[in-house]
Copies of this chain bind each other. A is one copy, B any other.
Amino acid sequence: MPIITIQQFPRSTEQKRELAQRITDALVETYQVAPESVQVFFQESSSDNWAKGGVLGVDRQPKG
């Protein structure tokens, strides 16, 4: 606690590495918690497992 879950399209390890650090810093500074108390999970969805406006990502162009 706190636990952060990010639902997103697949991203590179480098991008996730940077984002995990920035989000953890934001939590540590805003909530005054220890860094080790912060856990971040990435849940990556492929474009046939997400829809917006009733249309699957695989059918949208450009992908939103």
Contact = CB atoms under 8 A, between A and B. Distances in A.
Interface residues of A, number: 49
A18 B5 contact: no
A50 B17 CA distance: 9
B24 A58 contact: no
A48 B16 contact: yes
By DSSP majority rule, is chain A's interface helix, strand, loop, or mixed?
Answer: mixed
Copies of this protein in the complex: 6
Contacts of A37: 64
Interface in A3-27: 3-9, 11, 13, 15-27
A51 to B, nearest CB: 4
B4 A5 contact: yes
